[in-house]
Every structure is written in structure tokens, then in C-alpha cells.
Amino acid sequence: MSFYFTNINSIVVLTGAGISAESGLSTFRLKDGLWDNHPVDEVATPEGFQRNPALVHEFYNARRQQLSSVEPNAAHLALSAFEKSFSGNILLVTQNVDDLHDRAGSHNLVHMHGELLKCRCTACGTIKEIRSDLSTDSLCEDCGRKGTLRPDIVWFGEMPMELDRIYDALAQCDLFVSIGTSGNVYPAAGFFQEAKMAGAHTVELNLDPGEHASGFDQCLYGPATQLVPEFFG
């Protein structure tokens, strides 16, 4: 059943780990989730990085390496095709740090939790694309310091990226679609309420109900590679 986009001029789509699951990337909270193998506070907080940067680099190096062996799936591609055909405004906000939306061709895209393929120098602030492993010996080519590079990822307790742009879009949207996210992590988990306050129709597309399923106007459950092409097709 595809959605009828008549009278829809502005859309915000929020994606989470579930949209990349069928490409072969682990989600976080399911039984084989990433966090199970790595305590969050050890690998996804600034304190954890301070305590053991080598462990954090190892965690992100493994995930970065995995990117070269996975491809965007039908859900990523359906969103990219829709963006090209839709005459109104659409903003795709992803919590994911993988590059599958980018490789699928989405352009109006915000990586609110950062990107695996970027690193940041904690000394000079330079942000660079990377495809190789980071280590505590990595050299910042801009300031020449060693051991100052970190993944350009938003850890727990850090400010997500481009929140002003996201909240502006939520305040004007008439359709909000949440795809493949459990709704555990804030402020992303509260975006559907911002959209609701703006009068938007809110939809959850997920494998199973997220934390805030009862707050959505419409919920469809199943794999993203089926739901997303159907909904945006």
C-alpha cells in the first residue's frame, strides 16, 4: 500500500540502525546488537575514549572496515529515488554513522550522530574523510600532532549535529516518517512529538513496535526493504 502524498509539501524522515540491518550491518539493541559485545560507556562516550582510546579505535575501525563489504539496500534506494521525484521539501535525518544513504544517492541528508568515514583532530578541530584505521599514533596532517585524532561520531553526552536545521524542518513538516529505530536515544526519539506539534501526520515503519509506537498516527511493521519501497514507491 503506497501512501498518497497529495497535499504533502514538507517531509522529515528519521532513520535508525534498522534500515541498514538488511545490508548486513548490526543494530544496537537486538540480541546480536553491537552494544552487547561492547559496553556503551566503554566505546561510545568521551569518558570511554579518554580511558581507553585504543579500544574505541578498535571498535570503530572494525565497523569502518565492514562498510566496504556492504551495499545500500532497497530501502536506502527507495528513499533516494523518492527525493529525486518529490516536488516538495524532504530532509532525511539519520542516526546511523554508516554511508549507505550517501551511497544510495540521498542528498538532503543529515548524519546527526556523525559519520564513520570522518575523523576529527581534538587539537586543531580539523575534520577529514578517512578510509583507513585510526590509532593512538595517527598523525593529524593539518597540525602535525600525533594521537589527537578521534572518530567524528557523536557519543553519549555529546551534542548531536545540525539540530537547528532538524528542528526547523520538524516545525514545518506535514509528514514525519520514522524508519528502523527503537526510539531509545534522545533527542532523536522526541522528533515525532515535534512533528506532531507542527500538525504533521506521523508514521512508524519498523520491524517491531518502537518505544513510542502508540504516539504515531500510523504504524506499519515488517522489514524495511519491503515497507519503504511500498510506502515511498
Strands (E), 89-207: 89-94, 109-111, 114-121, 127-129, 149-153, 175-179, 201-206
Q: Would you say 116 and 64 are in contact if contact means Cβ atoms under 8 Å apart?
A: yes
Please give the Cα distance from 3 to 27 (Å, whole number). Answer: 27
Measured at CB, which residue is nearest to ligand BV8? 18
Instruction: Tell whether 172 is in a known binding site.
Output: no
Min CB(103)–ligand BV8 separation in Å: 17
- For residue 230 the three cell numbers come to 511500498
Min CB(182)–ligand BV8 separation in Å: 3
- Please list, in sequence order, all residues whose beta carbon lies within 8 angstroms of the beta carbon of residue 2, skipping any fewer than 6 positions away: 230, 231, 232, 233
Instruction: Tell whether 20 is in a known binding site.
Output: yes
| DSSP code of residue 61 | H
Please give the Cα distance from 139 to 120 (Å, whole number). Answer: 11
Q: Which is nearer to ligand BV8, 9 or 102 (CB)?
A: 102
Residue in this structure with the C-alpha cell 578541530, named with its chain if needed: 125
Cross-strand bridge partners of residue 15: 94, 179
Q: Which is nearer to ligand BV8, 121 or 228 (CB)?
A: 228
Instruction: Tell whether 182 is in a known binding site.
Output: yes
Instruction: Tell whether 189 is in a known binding site.
Output: no
Q: How many CA atoms lie within 13 A of 64 on its CB side?
A: 21
Q: Which is nearer to ligand BV8, 4 or 186 (CB)?
A: 186
Q: Which is nearer to ligand BV8, 29 or 131 (CB)?
A: 29
Instruction: Tell whether 121 is in a known binding site.
Output: yes
Q: Which is nearer to ligand BV8, 106 or 182 (CB)?
A: 182
Q: Which residues are catalytic?
A: 113
Instruction: Tell whether 29 is in a known binding site.
Output: yes
Please give the Cα distance from 216 to 208 (Å, whole number). Answer: 13
Min CB(157)–ligand BV8 separation in Å: 5
Min CB(143)–ligand BV8 separation in Å: 25
| Side chain identity, residue 213 | A
Please give the Cα distance from 225 to 180 (Å, whole number). Answer: 11
Min CB(110)–ligand BV8 separation in Å: 13
Residues that bind ligand BV8 in the complex, under the rule CB under 6 A: 16-18, 21-22, 27-30, 33, 44, 95, 97, 113, 153-160, 180-182, 184-188, 206-208, 210, 223-224
- Annotated binding-site members for NAD(+): 16-35, 95-98, 180-182, 224
- Annotated binding-site members for substrate: 60, 63
- Annotated binding-site members: 16-35, 60, 63, 95-98, 121, 124, 140, 143, 180-182, 224
